[in-house]
C-alpha cells in the first residue's frame, strides 16, 4: 500500500526521496523544493519556467503512437506498459524531474520525499499483488525495500505503537483501550478478512476498459472467483455484495458502537482514500485489511526513497523503447475533426499522437488543456460539478540526529481531537522520518523528515495571496505551527527547531503551482455509494485519462491500476493476454 499524498491509498501512502543509479538527469532540485524556500518564493526568478528546455529537441521524432501527458505514477505505469506492449510511446513532463507527487528532491545532501510515505505489497507476486508491483513485474523491475510492522500514534486517549498483523493490534486495544474494543475489532476482522478473497480474485493487471475484459479478466479468472465465493459460504458471499458500497455499511451492519473502533476505522479510511468510512469503497478497505491484518503482514519502505520507485518505472519504460521528455510543458491538447490528434507544447511545437493522447493530469487540469469549442457540455458539466478534496501543508526538515531516540520509528500519526473528525483541518498530522530505515537519505548522523496535513488544508485561505507578501509569510508561519508541534511531540525533547539545517514549508499554493494541481487538490471528493469515479475514455475520441481523477481513485495502487487499465485498453486482447501469461498471473 502507499499512503497517498500523505495518506494510505489502496496500498501505498503518498511522499518520498531517491538518488539511485538511474539513467536520466536528477541534478536539478524539483520545483516543490524550490517553492518551499521562502527566499526563493520571493524571487521573481523562481517561476519553474522550463521554456529554454522546451526549445531543445526531445528524444526522437515529434510523434508517437501514444503521447502521455504527465509522469506521475499513473502516467509512468501507462507509458511503461505501452512500451512493454511494443507501442511507440512518448511521455511528456513539464518539470525537470519525473514522478509527479511522488518525486524526490535533494537539498544540502538531504534527500526528501515529496509524496507517498507508507507502502506495502512491493514484494508480493501473483494475482493478489499490489497493482504497482504487477506493473514493475511486467517491466522486469523491482524495488528493494526495508520491512517493518508498526507506526506510532498520538491520540486524545494517549500514545502507543500500533502494530499490524492479526493479533498484535488486539493486544494494543486491550492494553490501551478496552476489552469491548477488542471484541468489536475481532468482530470486524472476522467479517472483513473472508471477503478479501473476492476482492482480490481479479488481478489488477487483468482489467481493461472495453468488452475485452470478459476475456482477460472474467473468463480467465472465473475459477478463482467461484472458488473464493464457495470458500466464503452463503454468509460470506452475501457480504461480498457489499464490496461496492461504503465501508460504513459493513461497520453499521455489525453494530459496532465502540467510539475508539469507529474513530480508528474512520482514520484508516481517511488515510486510504481521503474520506471517512461513509465515503470509502468497501473493496478498498477489504484490500487494506488483507494486507495489514493477516499473518505475516509487513509494511515496506523503498530503499533510497519513493524516488527509487519512480526510477524503476522510468528504467522499465526506457528498456522497452519508451521515451521521456522532461522540461516539456504541454500547452494544449489538439483536437481535429472531433478527435484528439496530439499536443502543442509551450514552445509552439506540435507533437502528433497517431493512436491516442493520455492525460495523467487531474480532470480539472485536463479540461483546461482542451479547446473550449471541442468540449461536450455534458463532459464539462460533470467535471465542474465534481467536488474536490482540500489541499496540503507540508513541512520538510533536515536535522542533526543527536539527542533523537535511536529506536525512533519511521511513521507517526497525530490526531488532536476525535470530535472534530479526522477530515477537519489542522486536526491530523502525518510524519515520516524515512532516514531511520534508509540512512543514505541524509548525511551521516542526520535525519530527513516530512510532515503534512493530509488533504485537509482549505485552499480558500490562500487563494489570491501574493507569495512574496507579508500576509502570505504570516499565514505560512501560522498554519505550519500544528506540524511543528506534532514533530516536537513525536521526536521528544532532543529535537529543537534550531537544530534544523533545512526548513521548508509548503502551502496549497506550493501544491498548486509545482505539482500542477487545480486548487492544490488531493483529488476528487467522490463518495462511495453516491457517485463513482469516471472511467478512462473521455467524451473526445482518442483522448484517455488516468490518475486519481479516474477509476479506481486516489492513491498509489489506485493510480497505478488506472494507468495499467488505459494501456491495456489501447492494445488488442491477444497482446494483453500474452502479457498476463508472461508474468504468470
Mean pLDDT is highest, among 26-40, 260-274, 425-439, for 425-439
What pLDDT shows up at residue 309? 95
- What pLDDT band is residue 233 in, cutting at 50, 70 and 90? low
Grid-cell match 507579508, residue found: 470
pLDDT in tens, 151-207: 999 999 889 999 888 888 899 899 889 999 999 999 999 988 888 777 677 788 999
pLDDT over 90, % of the chain: 66
pLDDT band of residue 236 (cuts 50, 70, 90) is low
- Residue 242: its pLDDT value, please? 75
C-alpha dihedral, 384 to 527 to 12 to 285, nearest 10°: -170
Instruction: Determine the pLDDT at residue 360.
Output: 97
pLDDT at 47: 30
- Which one, of 570, 535, 571, 576, lies nearest residue 216 by Cα? 576
Domain boundaries, the chain: 50-106+121-142+305-387+531-582, 179-301
In this prediction, residues 358-370 reach a mean pLDDT of 97
CB 165 within 8 A of CB 297: yes
Answer whether residue 280 shows pLDDT above 60. Answer: yes
Q: Is 458 helix (H, G, I), strand (E, B) or coil?
A: coil
Tell me: pLDDT of 46 over 50: no
CA distance 257 to 261: 8
Which class is 50-106+121-142+305-387+531-582 in CATH? alpha beta
Query: What number is the average pLDDT over the span 75-103?
Result: 96
* DSSP symbols for 341-360: EEEEETTS-EEEEEEEEEE-
145 CB-contact burial (10 Å; exposed 0-12 / middle 13-18 / buried 19+) = buried
Mean pLDDT of the chain: 86
276 with 424: CB under 8 angstroms? no
pLDDT for res 32:
33
pLDDT of residue 238 exceeding 70, the answer is no
Amino acid at each position: 500500500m502507499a499512503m497517498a499524498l500523505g495518506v494510505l491509498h489502496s496500498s501505498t501512502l503518498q511522499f518520498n526521496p531517491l538518488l539511485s543509479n538511474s539513467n536520466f538527469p536528477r541534478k536539478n532540485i524539483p520545483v516543490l523544493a524550490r517553492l518551499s524556500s521562502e527566499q526563493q518564493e520571493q524571487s521573481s526568478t523562481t517561476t519553474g519556467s522550463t521554456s529554454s528546455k522546451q526549445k531543445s529537441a526531445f528524444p526522437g521524432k515529434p510523434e508517437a503512437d501514444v503521447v502521455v501527458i504527465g509522469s506521475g505514477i499513473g502516467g509512468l505505469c501507462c507509458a511503461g506498459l505501452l512500451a512493454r506492449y511494443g507501442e511507440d510511446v512518448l511521455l511528456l513532463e513539464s518539470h525537470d524531474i519525473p514522478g509527479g507527487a511522488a518525486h524526490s528532491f535533494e537539498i544540502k545532501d538531504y534527500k526528501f520525499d515529496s509524496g507517498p510515505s507508507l507502502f506495502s505489497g512491493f514484494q508480493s507476486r501473483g494475482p493478489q499483488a499490489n497493482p504497482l508491483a504487477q506493473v514493475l513485474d511486467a517491466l522486469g523491475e523491482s524495488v528493494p525495500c526495508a520491512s517493518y510492522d508498526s507506526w506510532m500514534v498520538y491520540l486524545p486517549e494517549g500514545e502507543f505503537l500500533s502494530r499490524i498483523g492479526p493479533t498484535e493490534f488486539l493486544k494494543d486495544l486491550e492494553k490501551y483501550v478496552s476489552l469491548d474494543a477488542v471484541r468489536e475489532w475481532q468482530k470486524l476482522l472476522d467479517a472483513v478478512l473472508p471477503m478479501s478473497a473476492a476482492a482480490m480474485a481479479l488481478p489488477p493487471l487483468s482489467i481493461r476498459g472495453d468488452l475485452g475484459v470478459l476475456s482477460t479478466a472474467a473468463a480467465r479468472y472465473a475459477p478463482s472467483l467461484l472458488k473464493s465465493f464457495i470458500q466464503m459460504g452463503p454468509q460470506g458471499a452475501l457480504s461480498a455484495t457489499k464490496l461496492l458500497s461504503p465501508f460504513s455499511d459493513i461497520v453499521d451492519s455489525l453494530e459496532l458502537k465502540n467510539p475508539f473502533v469507529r474513530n480508528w476505522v474512520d482514520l484508516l479510511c481517511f488515510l486510504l482514500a481521503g474520506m471517512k468510512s461513509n465515503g470509502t469503497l468497501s473493496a478498498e478497505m477489504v484490500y487494506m485489511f488483507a494486507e495489514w491484518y493477516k499473518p505475516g503482514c509487513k509494511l515496506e519502505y523503498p530503499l533510497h526513497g519513493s524516488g527509487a520507485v519512480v526510477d524503476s518505472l522510468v528504467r522499465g519504460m526506457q528498456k522497452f523503447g519508451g521515451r521521456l521528455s522532461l522540461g516539456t510543458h504541454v500547452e494544449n491538447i489538439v483536437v481535429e475533426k472531433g478527435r484528439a490528434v496530439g499536443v502543442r507544447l509551450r514552445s509552439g511545437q506540435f507533437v502528433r499522437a497517431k493512436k491516442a493522447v493520455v492525460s495523467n493530469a487531474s480532470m480539472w487540469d485536463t479540461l483546461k488543456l482542451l479547446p473550449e469549442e471541442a468540449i461536450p457540455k455534458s463532459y464539462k458539466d460533470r467535471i465542474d460539478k465534481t467536488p474536490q478534496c482540500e489541499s496540503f501543508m507540508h513541512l520538510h526538515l533536515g536535522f542533526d540526529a543527536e539527542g533523537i531516540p535511536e529506536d525512533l520509528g519511521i511513521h507517526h500519526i497525530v490526531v488532536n481531537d476525535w470530535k472534530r473528525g479526522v477530515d477537519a483541518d489542522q486536526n491530523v498530522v502525518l510524519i515520516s522520518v524515512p532516514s531511520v530505515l534508509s540512512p543514505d537519505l541524509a548525511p551521516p548522523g542526520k535525519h530527513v523528515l516530512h510532515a503534512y496535513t493530509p488533504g485537509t488544508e482549505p485552499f480558500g485561505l490562500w487563494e489570491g495571496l501574493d507569495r512574496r507578501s507579508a500576509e502570505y509569510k504570516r499565514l505560512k508561519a501560522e498554519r505550519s505551527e500544528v506540524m511543528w508541534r506534532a514533530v516536537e511531540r513525536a521526536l521528544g525533547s532532543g529535537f529543537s527547531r534550531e537544530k534544523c539545517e533545512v526548513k521548508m514549508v509548503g502551502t496549497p499554493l506550493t501544491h498548486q503551482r509545482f505539482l500542477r494541481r487545480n486548487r492544490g487538490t488531493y483529488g476528487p471528493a467522490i463518495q462511495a455509494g453516491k457517485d463513482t469515479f469516471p472511467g478512462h475514455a473521455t467524451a473526445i475520441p482518442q483522448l484517455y485519462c488516468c490518475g486519481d481523477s479516474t477509476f479506481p481513485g486516489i492513491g498509489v495502487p489506485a493510480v497505478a491500476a488506472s494507468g495499467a487499465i488505459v494501456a491495456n485498453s489501447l492494445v488488442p486482447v491477444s497482446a494483453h493476454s500474452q502479457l498476463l501469461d508472461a508474468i504468470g498471473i
